Structures are given as structure tokens and as C-alpha cells.
Amino acid sequence: MDGVPQPTIERLVIYYRYLKKLVAHDDDKVISSLDLGHSVGVSAAQVRKDLSYFGEFGCKGVGYNVSNLKKSLEQILGFNQNWPIVLVGAGNIGRALVNYPGFKVMGLNIIAIFDCDLDKIGNRVGGLIVKSNKEIERVIKDKGVELAIIAVPVDEAQGVAEKLVKAGIKAIWNIAPVTLKLPDNVLVYYEDLASSLVTLTYRLSQKRLKARSN
Amino acid sequence: MDGVPQPTIERLVIYYRYLKKLVAHDDDKVISSLDLGHSVGVSAAQVRKDLSYFGEFGCKGVGYNVSNLKKSLEQILGFNQNWPIVLVGAGNIGRALVNYPGFKVMGLNIIAIFDCDLDKIGNRVGGLIVKSNKEIERVIKDKGVELAIIAVPVDEAQGVAEKLVKAGIKAIWNIAPVTLKLPDNVLVYYEDLASSLVTLTYRLSQKRLKARSN
DNA sequence: GAACTTTAGAGAATATTTTCACAAAAAAAG
DNA sequence: CTTTTTTTGTGAAAATATTCTCTAAAGTTC
């Protein structure tokens, strides 16, 4: 079951959130691809195609059972699994992520936070106490953690990444704006906050130019 | 000069950061698409194609002049312009963004931060004092701001978005995990932290399945 | 200065992702 | 019970994005 487009996975998460809201409000028992798509800013065809990669979840002439579809998405996306995660970097962004409310429902559990700054080690962040980077390897091996978040300054990111991989980490979500050099078997995703914003300013400039030329 | 792929813009930011580092270290006067690409995890062909959307910046048989290419990217991406930005939401993520060091070099300046929580209004965040949401419209109009960041809880996002648009905002970067319903002429980009992480766990599961089936 | 090496730029070919269009199933209407 | 409406699932078509391939220019070697 591969060949699923990258963007499809991200949209499934968005569908899931909306369905969860519907279930909570008991608003609706059934929803069409048109309504679901419209609610989350996606075309109906896109919704159906996204789901079709994983099976048949709807009923022709009717739509999708909200509660069942939600459960199916949980299954597909692995929300019923527990994903222990370690986070390195107890700066502003690291602390924000520990407290981010959206992770837990998806099985994403930050179980430890590390920093090399003595002023931060020992501090409480969310429900966790910041540990020294020296403990990274021990914790990862003890708990069998495969997923890590890097939220350290740019200069430290590569070193931290190597340490994590050595300890057994298989996938890294890197918030530091720098490309990591790691073995091919390690999955790395980049969250580049500045580049997202720049895309916006770029498009805004484009729109201005177009408007001026009319 | 449209028809530029979305991912190209994001990669240009990444090239820029690397070139900036080179210039600072005075490491190199000239760089080939192969070396630049290799350094940031992109193919040489991709680097050349990305740049080719905007003109000719290199020299055959030689490569790109690092300092000139950096300047060209600044021009293309609008880093020499000033982009005043307002941020709504002085929670953990909002505070982290105000203090994020990567924005200023790209001309991105958060000039005001708002919240509706009386406990937060008046607090200092970075160099700014948190203002009441009631002042949003006045500040946006006074300063002619076109760009806004929404970092409020899900339930408040739509209301805040409408307020921003009414005040004249043309583009929104939305960190709240909810789809906004806004007029088509407003640009909206979503930064969905959970969905990025879920993509990672999903790919990790896929790899496990594949490994097991071998 | 001729032969060789390096490397950008660009068009063609691939690959990926999205949209379209329609058959078939379910429900509703008459 | 037949017709009409609704809506899924899917293969084909279109749009988007990436990689390949080759030409030509610049530099280097002999």
C-alpha cells in the first residue's frame, strides 16, 4: 500500500480533524465527499481519490458514515498506536511543541526533552523535566524510541542528529533551518518556518505585479 | 514571471541560507549546481531548473558566483523589502515565533502581537508588548500591514481571520489546525504541525511493513 | 592553440498529483 | 415498480513538478 501521494497523507489528517469535530457535536451521521471537501477546502474528487488509495469507505448515493470513516482514518494514520518521541532543544519552539495540544490525539507522545544548556536542564516544560543531551542515547535505547524532533540552533543540529541516529532513531522531524547529512535509511522531514512565510510574501508580490499590469 | 512551482520558492530559501553561510565564512567564491545541490540535499538539475525560472545566474564551465547568486535570490525572494506582519495569539507558539531568529534576515518583521486573554495583554514578548485583539484593526490600518499570522486556539481562528481580513490583511499564515473560510482574494497558507509529524510516522510504518515482507 | 574537462541552460521525457467524466449502486420520488 | 436523483469509485486526461540529455560556453591541460 505505497504509491500514496505525500499530500494525501496530510489531507487525511485534515479530514480526520473535521470528522472528529462532527462526531463530538453529533452533527451528522453521514457526509458526502462534496460536503467534507467543501468544509476543509478540498475538491470532492480529491477527497474520494485520497480515500480510494486505502479502500472503499463510502456508499454510493449516500456518502460516508462519519464515525466509521473517522475510525478508518485512525487506523490508516496509526493514531491508535503509541509513538514515543524525544525532543532535543528546550528553546522557545521546543517548549511550544511539548505543550502543543494537537499531538496526543494522534498517538504522538513527546516522552523526553533534552538540552545542552545547563540553565535549562532541570527546568519543567509541560509535564517533563529537561534532561541533559548526555542522556539522549540512554533514554532512546531504554524506551525504544524511533522518532525525534530537532529544535536546536542551526549550528548544533547536525551534531544532535548524528547522536540521535547513533542511538537508534529512525525518523527525524527537523525544525532547525539546515539540511542534515545522514544515512539514507533515516527518514528526515523539514519544517522550515521561514520558507513557508516567504512563499506567502512571494505570492503576495506576484499578485501585486499582476494587478498592476491589468 | 509566474508558473514557478511552489516547491521551487521553498528551495530558493534553502539555497539562500547555504549561500549566506558560505559568504560569511568566505569559504568559496564560486559554486557549481552539483556542489550547492549536494550541500542542501537537492539534485544539480533541480538547482539549475529552479534558478532558470528567474534568469541566467551562472557561467558555463564555472558555476555560480556565490555572492552574486545570494544577492539575486534576495532580490527574487523580496528579502530587501520590509514585510510588516501582525501576529494574533500570544500562546506558546506565538511567543516562539516572535523570538524566531530566522525571519528578520528575510525582511519578515513581526511588528505587533495580539491576544484576547487579559492575563497576556500587556506582557512583554520579545521586544513587543501584547496588545488586545480590539486594537487589531487600528494597528493594521495605521501601519498598512498586509500579512498576518494566526496562532490562536482552533475555535478562535475563524473569527480572528475575519477580523484580520476586514482590517485589510491580504495574506494569512495559519498555524491553527483548522480550515479558514475566507474570500478567494485572501491568500492563506497552513502550517499543520501535527500533519507533518504524522507523515513521518506513516512513512515509518510503511518502511516496517516493507522490511517485514522481505 | 587544439584537445579535453567542466558545467550552465534548456527542451524532452518521466514521474507525480490533481481533476475530469462516467458507470454503477443506493435512495428517493412518482 | 419504474424513473429520477444522489453520490461513490475509478480509469483517463490534464496539470504540475522532476529528472534526463544534450548543446554550447568557459576554463584547463598539454
* pLDDT tens per residue across span A157-182: 999 999 999 999 999 999 999 999 99
Start-to-end CA span in chain A (Å)? 48
Nucleotides on strand C lying under 7 Å from protein C-beta: 5-11, 16-21, 24-27
**Could you tell me whether strands A58-59 and A63-65 are parallel, antiparallel, or unpaired per DSSP bridges?**
antiparallel
| Average pLDDT over chain A, rounded to an integer | 95
Instruction: Answer for A60: CB within 7 Å of strand D.
Output: yes
- CA/C1' separation B63–D24 (Å): 15
- CB-based contacts of B48, cutoff 8 Å, min separation 6: B33, B58
Instruction: Answer for B20: CB within 7 Å of strand C.
Output: no
Q: Considering only CA atoms, which residue is closest to the C1' of nucleotide C25?
A: A60
DSSP reduced 3-state for B132 = strand
- CB-based contacts of B212, cutoff 8 Å, min separation 6: none
Instruction: Answer for A48: CB within 7 Å of strand D.
Output: yes
Length of chain A: 214
Q: Considering only CA atoms, which residue is closest to the C1' of nucleotide C7?
A: B61
Q: What is the share, in percent, of chain A residues with pLDDT greater than 70? A: 98
The pLDDT tens digits along chain B (214 residues) read 468 999 999 999 999 999 999 998 876 689 999 999 999 999 999 999 999 999 999 999 999 999 999 999 999 999 999 999 999 999 999 999 999 999 999 999 999 999 999 999 999 999 999 999 999 999 999 999 999 999 999 999 999 999 999 999 999 999 999 999 999 999 999 999 999 999 999 999 998 887 777 6
- CA/C1' separation B49–D21 (Å): 14
Nucleotides on strand D lying under 7 Å from protein C-beta: 5-11, 16-21, 24-27
Q: How far apart are CA B132 and CA B116, in angstroms?
A: 6
Of all nucleotides, the one whose C1′ comes closest to residue A31's CA is: D7
What are residue A112's DSSP bridge partners? A86
Q: What is the share, in percent, of chain A residues with pLDDT greater than 90? A: 92
Q: How confident is the model at residue A94 (pLDDT cuts 50, 70, 90)?
A: very high
Of all nucleotides, the one whose C1′ comes closest to residue A3's CA is: C16
The continuous run of DSSP H or E covering A149 comes out as strand A147-150
Inter-chain contact B179–A39, Cβ cutoff 8 Å? yes
Q: How far apart are CA B133 and CA A163, in angstroms?
A: 44
Of all nucleotides, the one whose C1′ comes closest to residue A60's CA is: D8
**Which pLDDT score is estimated for A1?**
46
Inter-chain contact A173–B197, Cβ cutoff 8 Å? yes
The continuous run of DSSP H or E covering A173 comes out as strand A171-174
Mean pLDDT for the stretch of residues A48-69: 97
**Which pLDDT score is estimated for B140?**
98
pLDDT value at A107 more than 90: yes
**Which pLDDT score is estimated for B212?**
73
Q: How confident is the model at residue A214 (pLDDT cuts 50, 70, 90)?
A: low
Domains observed in chain A:
6-75 (1.10.10.10), 83-194 (3.40.50.720)
Q: What are the phi and psi torsion angles at A146 (to 5°)?
A: -115, -15
**Which pLDDT score is estimated for B27?**
67
Q: Considering only CA atoms, which residue is closest to the C1' of nucleotide D17?
A: B5
Inter-chain contact B96–A95, Cβ cutoff 8 Å? yes
- CA/C1' separation B7–C10 (Å): 20
Of all nucleotides, the one whose C1′ comes closest to residue A56's CA is: D9
DSSP reduced 3-state for B101 = coil
A28-31 long-range contacts, Cβ below 8 Å, gap at least 24? A28/A66, A29/A65, A29/A66, A29/A67, A30/A62, A30/A63, A30/A64, A30/A65, A30/A66, A31/A63, A31/A64, A31/A66, A31/A69
Q: Report the b/e string of A17-54 with b at 16+ CB within 10 A.
A: bbbeebbeeeeeeebbbebbbebbebeeeebbebbeeb
Mean pLDDT for the stretch of residues A107-115: 98
Side chain identity, residue B120: K
Q: Which residues in chain B have Cβ-Cβ distances shorter than 8 Å to A54?
A: none
**Which pLDDT score is estimated for A28?**
67
Protein chain A, residues 101-140, with a C-beta closer than 7 Å to any atom of nucleic acid strand D = none
Inter-chain contact A198–B100, Cβ cutoff 8 Å? no
